[in-house]
């Protein structure tokens, strides 16, 4: 049994579910350990589930603290936000360790570094599985500073140190007291483990296309980036007839959705910007989320949740906040990506879309106006941007990151400990 440790929203879990499915195809039993709210989703794909019976809601995490973390738009704010939230991990780490027991190998998200130390204690392979390039490189800036700082060897190395330190801080605060209580003392080599994946038994794998961020040549040979881990969503989705009619009666609309980023006091402001901007462009749109919008024109259709893989092939462009998963889905769909980042690594994906010529220059959500919104739409719909997006999708389609990284995981089971 291989156990995969991950967390976050459905979009965060999807790449790890894609890995699990590929491992199962290779004949290996696999389970995903994640918070209980994802059980139905994971089991619907025939993958075993280990419930982490804790989540932000059950732990009564201050919702204002979550909003603060979502708005963190520079490294200093991110550090403060992570520092405030790290205490809640103490209640979850015991569950994650229990998930590791009885496993042949542990695949872990960098936010669950308990996976590395549990695997070390159990004498089994550990695989760092990251949703973005994480290992240090002189060649490119990490997603925490990409587009915000000039790229040079010194800045680039520093940017990875910042990114790794933030992720390690989140794990360390909960891992340290747990480990001392359970085993009496910390491991002799205790510390951030992300640069220790240097052999076939302990590799690192990355969910990212080499056509989006090329694999750095200064990574060691056991860090593998082979493409995105796309989940082949089940084809049993039946769309509402009203949505089908909307799609069939007019030019292809733009998809607009910011996930959980739009809430509280910014809901009304952002909704107004979007509605006014759309009116200026005359474009049709499908809007996801945004609460209970009233009096919207018949050129706009409002939805709740629709599988991106189903919808993105039927729209002319995707407008979103720049989450890694949504960005990957937009790139795969071969349509322009219009990204207005809120915080964290969203700025990197927005900047990368612009650098690749598949989207407009990024504008942070704090600086967005209806005029800037409509300008971004017009820019994205230019013929050369549309053409670039199609070409990027063709290149991405040549990769199969989930399948190839699953093979790396399988190989780690046979490798001797160096």
Q: What is the DSSP string of 196-237?
A: ---BTTB-EEE-B-TTTSPPPTTS-TTEEE-B-------TT-
Q: Which residues contact 62 (CB under 8 A, 6 or more apart)?
A: none
Nearest Cα neighbor of 191 from 126, 116, 267, 277 is 116
Which H or E element spans position 285? Answer: strand 285-288
CATH topology of domain 2-228+399-414: Rossmann fold (3.40.50)
Sign of the CA dihedral 280, 286, 289, 295? positive
Q: Give the 3-state secondary structure of residue 359.
A: coil
Q: Give the 3-state secondary structure of residue 93.
A: helix
- Token output for 162: 């910042």
Strand order in the sheet with 30-35: 48-52, 30-35, 2-5, 105-108, 126-130, 204-206, 223-225
The rounded distance, in Å, linking the Cα atoms of 69 and 14 is: 22
Cα–Cα distances (Å) from 124 to 109, 120, 202, 268, 415, in that order, read 17, 6, 9, 51, 10
The rounded distance, in Å, linking the Cα atoms of 89 and 111 is: 10
The rounded distance, in Å, linking the Cα atoms of 259 and 300 is: 18
In the chain, what are the domain boundaries? 2-228+399-414, 241-396
Which H or E element spans position 160? Answer: helix 153-183
- Going by the DSSP 8-state scheme, the letter that residue 366 receives in this structure is G
φ/ψ bin of 291: left (φ > 0), alpha (ψ from -120 to 50), beta (otherwise): left
The rounded distance, in Å, linking the Cα atoms of 116 and 197 is: 10
pLDDT of residue 234: 74
Rounded-to-5 percentages of helix, strand, coil across the chain? 45, 15, 40
Helices (H) and strands (E) in the chain, counts: 15, 12
The rounded distance, in Å, linking the Cα atoms of 122 and 99 is: 12
Question: Are 2-228+399-414 and 241-396 equal in CATH topology?
Answer: yes
pLDDT of residue 30: 97
Long-range CB contacts for residues 352-357, cutoff 8 Å, separation at least 24: 352/146, 352/147, 352/212, 352/213, 352/327, 353/327, 355/147, 356/212, 356/388, 356/392, 357/384, 357/385, 357/388
Cα–Cα distances (Å) from 69 to 46, 197, 239, in that order, read 34, 29, 34
Nearest Cα neighbor of 117 from 96, 136, 86 is 96
Structure-token match 């590791």, residue found: 100
Q: Give the 3-state secondary structure of residue 59.
A: coil
Q: Which residues contact 341 (CB under 8 A, 6 or more apart)?
A: 73, 321, 322, 347, 349, 350, 362, 364, 365
pLDDT in tens, the chain (418 residues): 999 999 888 888 999 999 999 999 999 999 999 999 899 999 999 999 999 976 555 555 555 544 554 454 454 545 445 555 555 566 689 899 999 999 999 999 999 999 999 999 999 999 999 999 999 999 999 999 998 899 999 999 999 999 999 899 888 988 999 999 999 999 999 999 999 999 999 999 999 999 999 999 999 999 999 999 999 877 778 889 999 999 999 999 999 998 766 666 678 888 889 999 999 999 999 998 877 777 789 999 998 878 888 899 999 999 999 989 899 999 999 999 999 998 888 999 999 999 999 999 999 999 999 999 999 999 999 999 999 999 999 999 999 999 999 999 999 999 876 5
- Token output for 88: 């809640």
Neighbouring CB atoms inside 10 A of 183's CB total 11
CATH topology of domain 241-396: Rossmann fold (3.40.50)
Structure-token match 């009619």, residue found: 245
């Amino acid at each position: 049994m291989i156990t995969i440790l991950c967390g976050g929203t459905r979009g965060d879990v999807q790449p790890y579910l894609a890995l699990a499915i590929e491992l199962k195809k290779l004949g290996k039993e696999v389970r995903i350990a994640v918070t209980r709210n994802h059980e139905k989703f994971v089991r619907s794909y025939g993958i075993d589930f280990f419930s982490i019976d804790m989540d932000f809601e059950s732990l009564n995490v201050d919702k204002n603290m979550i909003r603060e973390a979502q708005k963190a738009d520079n490294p200093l704010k991110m550090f403060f936000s992570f520092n405030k939230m790290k205490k809640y991990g103490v209640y979850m780490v015991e569950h994650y360790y229990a998930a590791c027991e009885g496993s042949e190998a542990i695949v872990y998200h960098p936010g669950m570094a308990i996976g590395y130390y549990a695997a070390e204690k159990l004498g089994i392979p550990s695989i760092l599985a990251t949703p973005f390039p994480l290992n240090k490189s002189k060649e490119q800036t990490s997603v925490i500073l990409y587009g915000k700082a000039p790229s040079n060897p010194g800045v680039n190395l520093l940017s990875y140190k910042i990114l790794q330190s933030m992720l390690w801080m989140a794990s360390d605060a909960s891992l340290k007291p747990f480990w001392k209580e359970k085993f009496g003392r910390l491991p002799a080599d205790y510390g951030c483990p992300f640069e220790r994946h240097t052999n076939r038994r302990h590799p690192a794998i990355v969910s990212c296309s080499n056509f989006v961020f090329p694999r750095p040549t200064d990574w060691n040979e056991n860090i593998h980036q082979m493409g995105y881990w796309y989940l082949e969503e089940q084809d049993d989705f039946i769309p509402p007839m009203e949505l089908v009619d909307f799609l069939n009666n007019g030019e292809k609309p733009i998809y607009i959705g910011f996930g959980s980023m739009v809430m509280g006091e910014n809901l009304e402001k952002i909704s107004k910007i979007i509605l006014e901007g759309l009116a200026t462009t005359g474009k049709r749109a499908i809007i996801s989320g945004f609460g209970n919008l009233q009096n919207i024109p018949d050129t706009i259709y409002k939805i709740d949740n629709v599988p991106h893989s189903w919808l993105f092939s039927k729209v002319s462009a995707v407008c979103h906040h720049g989450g890694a998963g949504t960005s990957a889905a937009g790139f795969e769909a071969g349509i322009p990506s219009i990204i207005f980042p809120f915080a964290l690594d969203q700025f990197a994906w927005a900047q990368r879309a612009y650098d690749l010529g598949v989207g407009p220059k990024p504008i942070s959500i704090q600086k967005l106006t209806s005029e800037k919104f409509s300008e971004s739409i017009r820019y994205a719909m230019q013929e050369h941007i549309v053409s670039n997006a199609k070409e990027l999708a063709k290149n991405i389609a040549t990769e199969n990151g989930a399948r190839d990284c699953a093979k790396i995981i399988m190989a780690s089971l046979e490798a001797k400990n160096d």
